[in-house]
Amino acid sequence: MLRMSKIHKWFGKLHVLKDVNLDVKEGEVIVIIGASGSGKSTFLRCINFLEEAEKGVVQFRGKPILKNRNLTGIRKEIGMVFQHFNLFPHMNVLHNVMEGPVHTRHMSPHDAEKLARGLLEKVGLSDKAKVYPSTLSGGQKQRVAIARALAMQPSVLLFDEPTSALDPELVGEVVSVMKDLANEGMTMIVVTHEMWFAREAADRVVFMDEGTIIEEAPPEKMFSEPENERTKQFLKQIL
């Protein structure tokens, strides 16, 4: 489904991604872990071209993504959920979720509303359709953000620390929605520190350090017998 080959990214003189390679199959759930500043967000952003890698190729379903040619189409296929929700404050929850389908997918408002209501039910927020984001808890906001991303009917969803801005007691409701998606076969690349999500939902865990992928393994292996010394050190700190 996705293949990132030899990705390099610089911010000025800072070499942030150094030859990063990752293949993601349809239906796979990849969890990326690593210390702050190791390049996880930049890597996710390079996948859907929120940042442009200076070197390397991103392929989607076997074809390279070309910035000037097929980027708009690709953005519909590769959704993203951010740490800070980024909901539209002047729109109610229902309209937040309908916005993408109506304006980008040119769906009729009637169909978009039906889709949006279905997705709000899926994330457990049917009763919040008509309220404004400012009245929601962080966990509810993030579930709306997930519904909004799903409304674009993407093939892949990228999550960048979706629970890091939440109070601890609100993490579970968001991770549980993510687990449902994983169980339904959604292809996902998730940067997170929630190791129980990684244990229960990930097919592979990828450890990034200083802009490179140091090690990747299924969660059982990664957490019980990591091979690289730096992986061991990092896991010791967080587990």
Comparison of 15 and 105: residue with beta carbon closer to ligand ADP: 15
Return the structure tokens found at 74. 């690709």
Segment contacting ligand ADP by CB under 6 A, of 40-48, 69-77, 85-93, 111-119: 40-48
Among 28, 32, 41, 81, indicate the residue that binds Mg ion (CB under 5 A).
41
Give the position of tokens 């890698």.
53
Does 142 participate in binding ligand ADP (rule CB under 6 A)? no
Residue least distant from Mg ion (Cβ): 41
Return the structure tokens found at 140. 């509810």
How many residues sit close enough to ligand ADP to count as binding (CB under 6 A)? 11
173: CB partners within 8 A, 6+ apart: 124, 139, 140, 143
Does 163 participate in binding Mg ion (rule CB under 5 A)? no
Does 42 participate in binding ligand ADP (rule CB under 6 A)? yes
Q: How far is the CB of 28 from ligand ADP (least distance, A)?
A: 21
Q: How far is the CB of 29 from ligand ADP (least distance, A)?
A: 19
* Residues 17 and 211: beta-carbon distance below 8 Å: yes
Comparison of 11 and 88: residue with beta carbon closer to ligand ADP: 11
- Separation in Å, CA 167 to CA 162, 174, 197: 12, 11, 17
187: CB partners within 8 A, 6+ apart: 1, 2, 24, 25, 26, 27, 28, 29, 155, 156, 157
Does 52 participate in binding ligand ADP (rule CB under 6 A)? no
Question: Cα 83–86–89 angle (5° rounding)?
Answer: 145
Distance of alpha carbon 115 from alpha carbon 151, whole angstroms: 7
- Interaction mask 11-40, Mg ion, x per CB under 5 A: -----------------------------x
> Which residues lie near ligand ADP (CB under 6 A)?
11, 14, 16, 34, 36-42
Residues binding Mg ion (CB under 5 A) = 40-41
